[in-house]
């Protein structure tokens, strides 16, 4: 649809809402943004809005939904909210910020400029690391890329900053580098929330890193959550490619069910730590590429020894294999992939080493917001672990931690709203459990309990919103409290 002079309602402010509202206003739409939060609590985002954008805060009035020609929802907005349902019944298009960015790039770029190709990464755990590593590889391979989506900046905001914005509006915000050229690839981390509202979004390459129980406070079942993840490839064609985690039963199940009813299917490749596959696999401690048709010396070539990969942990080995498969299939040179695996240092708050004090190593895994993520993190350590966990429950099945806690956890320190639920789920183990009032106290307790050779790990298995702004805020505070500890 054309956008000029159309009434468009943007639901939910924050990062995605600001990007969508400002881009739509620049394209001549009549934009109203609405958020149930008050204006004061949204001040940092409100100050970024274009003056022409109308603002409605503190509620979601039905009339601004019914009067809209199109509605754009931010990822955090529940797709089943009544106003959206009524708008859908009236035939008003309801899309997300990701779909909006794709629509504009697909339909508004003047010819003959090619649209950037999309590489999309989704999954429950590890998608941020995989996305950032993939972007690192592609840049090292000589491609112009934009990193965004559920990581970094919203894609609608990135449009302003690159050659895409220059083509659309004749201007760009940055000069003196190739960001004013049209990128070759958009490398996007994509959440299930963003995928709920796609219509035409079609990545040329996509990967599902894994699917494990998460956000079950929003989804009615694991199947519903998995179906949302599978939407990443529902519009792909035969010339596109999809990479799947062959070792993850839920991923393979969801993909199989989707393919059974999908008319056109992409080329499918896999990555695996456990078996040889067509894609990327682990054999004898070495990572191999087994992708047919690539300009390689042989059908199966070693890429790197697993212990040479800079980011550590079982989960990061999987992330590294997923990113490698995506990069190689997108045309990245092998040398750039292997060099990146040796050089990429990882992301903050993902099994991040903080310091060693009196022989005790401290790790920040604040992004471990669900049970499966904590399991992967615990599997990465052979040393006794003092685990700090807890926060806002996302309907997690904490009893699944029993085996690993029994084997690896010397003491469990619990904080936040879910502390009692976790204690109840794991309280019959011999592991020592300590309740702490807040994170600073938990860090001090861990210092008192720890002995030389132990690991202190913050990996909460919960959301952060009961005590912190977000998982980043939780991780930064943990690092601050750890840095304040004295020998």
pLDDT value, residue 173 = 47
Whole-angstrom distance, CA of residue 258 vs CA of residue 262: 6
pLDDT value, residue 74 = 92
What is the average pLDDT across 56-60?
95
Q: What is the DSSP letter of 466?
A: T
Give the model's confidence band at 297: pLDDT under 50 very low, under 70 low, under 90 confident, else very high: low
Which of 54, 27, 57, 56 minimizes the C-alpha distance to 41? 57
Question: Residue 418 contacts by C-beta under 8 Å, 6 or more apart in sequence?
Answer: 390, 391, 392, 393, 396, 398, 461, 462
Residues listed for the chain: 487
R_g over Cα of the chain: 23
pLDDT value, residue 176 = 44
Rounded to the nearest 5°, which phi and psi values hold at 271? -130, 150
Question: Which residue's structure tokens are 């009032």?
Answer: 437
pTM of the predicted model as reported, rounded to 2 decimal places: 0.84
Please provide the average confidence, as pLDDT, over all residues in the chain. Answer: 91
Whole-angstrom distance, CA of residue 342 vs CA of residue 287: 13
- 352-484 CATH: 3.90.190.20
pLDDT tens sequence across 400-420: 999 999 999 999 999 999 999
Rounded to the nearest 5°, which phi and psi values hold at 413? -110, 120
User: At the fourth CATH level, which superfamily is domain 101-343?
Assistant: Mur-like, catalytic domain (3.40.1190.10)
Question: Which residue's structure tokens are 């406070």?
Answer: 217
Q: How far is CA 303 from CA 182, 295, 344, in A?
A: 31, 14, 15
Provide the pairing of β-strand 94-96 with 30-35. unpaired
7-92 and 352-484 share one fold: no
Residue 228: pLDDT above 80? yes
Question: Which residue's structure tokens are 């992301």?
Answer: 347
Q: Domains of the chain: which residue ranges? A: 7-92, 101-343, 352-484
pLDDT tens sequence across 182-215: 789 999 999 999 999 999 999 999 999 999 988 8
Rounded to the nearest 5°, which phi and psi values hold at 106? -80, -25
Q: Beta partners for 434?
A: 413
What is the average pLDDT across 70-80?
90
Q: How far is CA 295 from CA 248, 282, 321, 324, 328, in A?
A: 29, 21, 19, 15, 10
pLDDT tens sequence across 439-461: 999 999 999 999 999 999 999 99
Whole-angstrom distance, CA of residue 482 vs CA of residue 465: 21
In CATH, what is the architecture of 7-92?
A: 3-Layer(aba) Sandwich (3.40)
What is the average pLDDT across 135-153?
93
pLDDT value, residue 152 = 82
Whole-angstrom distance, CA of residue 473 vs CA of residue 480: 11
pLDDT value, residue 158 = 83
Residues 254, 244: contact at Cβ < 8 Å?
A: no
């Amino acid at each position: 649809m054309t956008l000029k002079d159309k009434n468009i309602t943007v639901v939910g402010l924050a990062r995605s809402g600001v990007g969508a509202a400002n881009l739509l206003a620049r394209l001549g739409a009549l934009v109203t943004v609405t958020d149930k939060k008050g204006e004061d609590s949204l001040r940092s985002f409100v100050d970024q809005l274009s003056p022409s954008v109308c603002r409605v805060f503190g509620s979601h009035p039905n009339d601004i939904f019914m009067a809209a020609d199109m509605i754009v929802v931010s990822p955090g907005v529940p797709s089943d909210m009544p106003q959206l349902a009524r708008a859908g019944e009236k035939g008003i298009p309801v899309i997300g910020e990701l779909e909006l960015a794709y629509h504009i790039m697909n339909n508004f770029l003047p010819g003959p400029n090619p649209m950037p190709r999309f590489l999309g990464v989704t999954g429950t755990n590890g998608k941020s690391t995989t996305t950032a590593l993939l972007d690192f590889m592609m840049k090292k391979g000589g491609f112009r890329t934009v990193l965004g989506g559920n990581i970094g900046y919203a894609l609608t905001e990135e449009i302003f900053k690159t050659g895409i914005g220059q083509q659309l509006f004749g201007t760009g915000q940055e000069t003196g580098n190739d960001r004013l050229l049209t990128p070759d690839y958009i490398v996007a981390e994509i959440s299930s929330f963003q995928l709920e509202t796609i219509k035409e979004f079609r990545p040329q390459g996509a990967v599902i890193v894994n699917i494990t129980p998460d956000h079950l406070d929003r989804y009615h079942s694991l199947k519903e959550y998995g179906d949302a993840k599978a939407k990443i490839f529902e519009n792909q064609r035969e010339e596109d490619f999809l990479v799947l985690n062959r070792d993850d039963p839920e991923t393979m199940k969801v993909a199989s069910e989707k393919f059974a009813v999908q008319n056109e299917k992409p080329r499918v490749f896999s990555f695996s730590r456990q078996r040889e596959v067509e894609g990327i696999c682990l054999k004898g401690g070495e990572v191999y590429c087994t992708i047919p048709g690539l300009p390689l010396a042989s059908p199966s070539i070693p890429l790197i020894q697993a212990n040479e990969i800079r980011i550590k942990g079982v989960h990061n080995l999987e992330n590294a294999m997923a990113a490698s498969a995506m990069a190689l299939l997108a045309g990245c040179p092998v040398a750039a992939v292997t060099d990146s695996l040796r050089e990429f240092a990882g992301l903050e708050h993902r099994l991040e080493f903080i310091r060693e004090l009196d022989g005790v190593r401290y790790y920040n895994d604040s992004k471990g917001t669900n049970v499966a993520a904590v399991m992967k993190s615990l599997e990465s350590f052979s040393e006794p672990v003092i685990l700090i966990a807890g926060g806002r429950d996302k309907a997690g099945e904490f009893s699944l931690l029993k085996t690993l806690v029994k084997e690896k956890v010397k003491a469990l320190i619990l904080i936040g709203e879910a502390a009692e639920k976790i204690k109840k789920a794991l309280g019959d183990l011999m592991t020592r459990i300590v309740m702490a009032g807040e994170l600073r106290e938990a860090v001090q307790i861990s210092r008192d309990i720890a002995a030389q050779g132990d690991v202190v790990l913050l990996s909460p298995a919960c959301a952060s919103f009961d005590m912190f702004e977000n998982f980043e805020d939780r991780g930064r505070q943990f690092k601050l409290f750890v840095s304040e500890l004295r020998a």
